Structure 1
Amino acid sequence: MDDQQTEPDTSTIAEPPRRVWWQRPLPLGLLAGGLALAVIAAGAVSGSIARTPDAPRASAEAAIPSAAPTPEVPERPVPQQTVPAFARTCSVENLIHDPRLGTFQAQVYNADTGEILFERDQDTPRATASSMKILTAAAALNVLGPEYRATTRVVSGPDAGTIVLVGGGDLTLSRLPSGSEPVYTGAAHLDDLAKKVTAARTAAGIREPVRRILLDTTYFGGPTWDPSWPATERRAGWLSHITALQVDADRADPKVFLSPRGEDPVGRAGDAFAAFFPGASTSTGTAAAGATELASVQSAPLSALIPLMLVPSDNTLAEMLGRQVAIKMGTGNTMSAVSQAIPEALKPYGLDTSNLTIADTSGMSPKNAVPPSYLAGLYMKVGAREANLGYIRDGLAVAGQTGTLGYSNRFTGPNAVARGHIWGKTGSITSAYTLGGFIDAADGSTLTFVIYATGRVSESARQGIDTVATAFYRCGNSLSNY
């Protein structure tokens, strides 16, 4: 629902001063060196002229050969005072006390110079909401790599009439016919898998029809739903039960992002697959060790899944990737395994992970806690495209245009001036609203920023955050920390 509260007045924000080339201060080293050379030169000239303090000027000039007259050198103006460094006088102080922002935290860098321009309570870990997905994406890129694909397999069963559908954690697998695009572009399709199974059985000389399909979901273990996640998120279409086998992230309508999710994602997937084998029944089971693989299909690569997760803020996809990271790291295949896996997976980026509390990988849990300074530091590396982090930079929503930053209640009114100039990841849960990413500021500088609004907050925090972010856009490199 669009928030109707009045935006705080931004007219008191000082505009960045206009500067021209002659206003730039001389480097101190160059100025000192010039003065030293002047003193040396003056000494050399005075030493070549034999004169006493009270000698008449005419006698001194007579010692200079007439063939080489001394040219007159015009005096250089002496500056009355040192030219100040770049003036940072653009204050946002009157905006950050907006009651809509609850407990306000932030950090802003000049992305090009690495200077910290602004910060408030930046080192206190608090809930991230969906900004957690930035950490999940970074961990997955490090551990899994941008070419990683999740695989769904079908193997032979205990008898000729039985096959086993083995979930590999690909929650993007679609029940739509090939050629029809679901929410997840580039997804694998069940009909393709079924055709491959039929072809493999025929090639192996198996004439017995498929009478039974076992559904193996053991790749993921433990509870499928975290107690801190509101059950309403399933009905609202934001998150499904996390199982290793499901189709279209268990959406009722595979083409609608916020389509309601069900209570039995494994059953929905089994029924959809069984439709390609008339008369076949389904039940849960486990593939035998060493069972012959009949066919497999794969998800789109991680590099393509990242924007599908970040731009619309797909919670199910984030939980899928987090679980894949934990399995690869060897910490386990349950929801609790991510608490150890994600910080370990992030360590190679060189940022201190000791203050991270990871409860899930979607940000739905209020138990997550990450300092804004950590997230801002990670964004700096994303902006620099370190390792494979450039995939995150290219996978962010754009203010006023795409994803969760394109909603009708984001960057409206006076804040519309920043539309198209801010790339970022939003976060929205009951107790925390966040935004972080990059700003192409009005003065041509690039800022990296993170804003948290936590505690006693509501949906109106989004507009408060947008107002502060727009002020950062207007200030640019003139942003003051006071």
Structure 2
Amino acid sequence: MHESDEPVTGPDPSTPPTSPTPSADSAADSEPPATAGSGRRAAVRPAKASGFSGVAAGVLSAIRKHPKTWMAAAAAVVFLLLGTGSVALGATIGSPAAAAGRTSTATPTPTRTSTPTPTPTVDPERPVPANQAAATRIRTCSVAGLAGDRRLGNLEAQVVNAKTGQALFDRNGTKAGPTASVLKTLTSAAALATLGPDYRVSTTVVAGSTPGQVVIVGGGDVTLSRLPDGQASFYTGAPKIQDLANQVKQAMGGQQITSIVVDASLFGAPFWQPSWDEREERVVEGSTPYMTALMVDGDRDDPTAVESPRSTDPVGRAVQYFQQYLGTNVGVSQGVATAGARQLGVVQSQPVTTLIDQAMRVSDNTIMEELARLVAIKNGAGNTFDALNAGVLAGLKGYGIDTAGIHIADGSGLSGDNAVPPSYLTQLFIKVLNRQNGLGVVYDSLPVAGKSGTLGPGYNRFTGANSAARGAVLAKTGWIDNGYTLSGIINAADGTPLTFAVFALGPVSDNAKQAIDTLVTGFYKCGDNLSNG
């Protein structure tokens, strides 16, 4: 409270008036007037044995006749005597003008050896707590109006100062909700921690149990391409199944291939997540295949396209091209490779860091489903969709962020059953920003507003007034039927690094993306002055 706002206190109207009290000077230096009663008492009983003078005896007489009046007067005198020290001190630190303007009217006080002058008492200092609370900064830049935009549906959001770790803005920030493709950030982090940044996924061929039999073993590499040497597929630097077939022919040394066994047992059924919309995702949009351990080009009809319809038999398509490059149409059967069998050929994917970079930039579901499954297997959780929750959470454990409330239904974020609180993402992105635990690859792969990835040209993001934040927002986008999401890092206008997560959930439509961009631009403009009000 400001001083001008403090209430002014005065006499309490409920307190009854009292008789006038002598001033400090008059009470100390004058004697009460003599009365008839006091005179007679003095004449009849002179003060000798008691040692009192006649005046003192008169005072006693007056006190006996009017005890209440004299008790009040005596109390006032004591009060004034005790306050003498305070009055004197006040005069010392008071203004010179006030001190100069006062004129003393007091009569010199005669010395009285029988009554020592009371020593003024000094009030002890008021105790002060040992640990005083630090002053709280008042932030004044509000985005409350932007956060109330109905296009955001049921908003869950949080913004954190990445330097101090302080949450500046929070709307249901600890409530777990569906993340859409923002979940790819968690999958990437789990893959880096579990598989390692340099891990490569292998597709191998080994000798079978009978002469001339070969076994192709799917290791989960979805980037393996059917395109011939010299032609680039959608996945940069992808290994070729043609190369694998050539290695096998060379290892066989001219021996005729009699049969092909396919071992795709690394990934367990079901190969389609039950909560996914198969027609929409596999056929119409063409973003996601059946997740088998052997496929080529992410099972795209067009191996060079970001999105393209997928088949109902990824393994069969891969084997078809393997046969083609081997130059044979021998019989094919399902089976499992014999442990320790002689290797006839092997091709490897790009390292995990490259896979993450490609998937994050264009939000590729297929790579992320591969990585999540490999993480679950490596962590001993299993090889099915049901194993992903335990597997990915085990992979995230080393980052030291509380995973309470998180549920992982898939690796891509396509399922509405995924649940992650925005508060987890703001903490994870602080580590991404600081490149901790190898997470710098995630930072480098984040789409940049107005410049790259799914926030770049062609995606209609951060346009118009929101273009003020172009180049300053690095974030992962997300969209599913019941939500639009965005989470990442903001290099705010005042130089403050912020981490944020925004979920627009419920019956929302495509225009939620513009509402999210507007809110995030507000975060950018406010910086560390962002208010939670």
TM-score normalised by structure 2 residue count? 0.72
2:149 corresponds to: 98
| 1:2-29 CA-partner distances (Å, limit 9, x unpaired) | xxxxxxxxxxxxxxxxxxxxxxxxxxxx
The equivalent position to 2:347 in structure 1, one of 291, 297, 303, is 297
Could you tell me which amino acid in structure 1 is paired with residue 500 of structure 2?
F
| 1:71-104 CA-partner distances (Å, limit 9, x unpaired) | xxxxxxxxxxxxx986621111001111110111
Helix, strand or coil: the match of 2:146? coil
Could you tell me which amino acid in structure 1 is paired with residue 520 of structure 2?
A
Report if aligned partners of 1:428, 1:434 keep a CA contact under 8 Å in 2.
yes
Distance in 1, matches of 2:325 and 2:209, equals: 20
Report if aligned partners of 1:435, 1:465 keep a CA contact under 8 Å in 2.
yes
Report if aligned partners of 1:351, 1:374 keep a CA contact under 8 Å in 2.
yes
* 2:198 equivalent to 1:147: yes
Distance in 2, matches of 1:116 and 1:456, equals: 28
Could you tell me which amino acid in structure 1 is paired with residue 270 of structure 2?
P
Could you tell me which amino acid in structure 2 is paired with residue 122 of structure 1?
G
Could you tell me which amino acid in structure 2 is paired with residue 217 of structure 1?
A
Could you tell me which amino acid in structure 2 is paired with residue 222 of structure 1?
A
1:379 corresponds to: 429
Distance in 1, matches of 2:258 and 2:328, equals: 6
2:417 corresponds to: 367
* 2:387 equivalent to 1:340: no
Structure with higher helix content: 2
1:390 corresponds to: 440
Question: What's the CA shift for 1:424?
Answer: 0.7
1:132 corresponds to: 183
* 2:260 equivalent to 1:209: no
* 2:360 equivalent to 1:310: yes
Could you tell me which amino acid in structure 2 is paired with residue 325 of structure 1?
V
2:212 corresponds to: 161
1:10 corresponds to: none
TM-score normalised by structure 1 residue count? 0.80
Distance in 2, matches of 1:160 and 1:396, equals: 50
2:268 corresponds to: 221
1:258 corresponds to: 307
1:425 corresponds to: 476
Distance in 1, matches of 2:428 and 2:164, equals: 16
Distance in 1, matches of 2:197 and 2:345, equals: 24
Question: What's the CA shift for 1:142?
Answer: 0.6
Report if aligned partners of 2:246, 2:326 keep a CA contact under 8 Å in 1.
no
Helix, strand or coil: the match of 1:276? helix
The equivalent position to 1:267 in structure 2, one of 309, 316, 322, is 316
2:80 corresponds to: none
Distance in 1, matches of 2:201 and 2:212, equals: 27
Question: What's the CA shift for 1:115?
Answer: 2.3
Question: What's the CA shift for 1:224?
Answer: 0.3
The equivalent position to 1:327 in structure 2, one of 377, 383, 402, is 377
Q: Percent identity?
A: 50
Distance in 2, matches of 1:420 and 1:179, equals: 35
1:458 corresponds to: 509
C-alpha RMSD of the superposition? 1.7
Helix, strand or coil: the match of 1:126? coil
Could you tell me which amino acid in structure 1 is paired with residue 435 of structure 2?
R
Please give the residue correspondences for 1:71-86 in structure 2 after superposition, counting only pairs within 5 Å.
Answer: none
2:489 corresponds to: 438
Report if aligned partners of 1:213, 1:280 keep a CA contact under 8 Å in 2.
no
1:234 corresponds to: 282
Structure 1 unaligned spans of 5+: 1-53, 55-83
2:17 corresponds to: none
Distance in 2, matches of 1:155 and 1:438, equals: 46
Question: What's the CA shift for 1:345?
Answer: 1.4
Ranges of 4+ aligned residues in structure 1 off by more than 3 Å: 84-87
1:195 corresponds to: 246
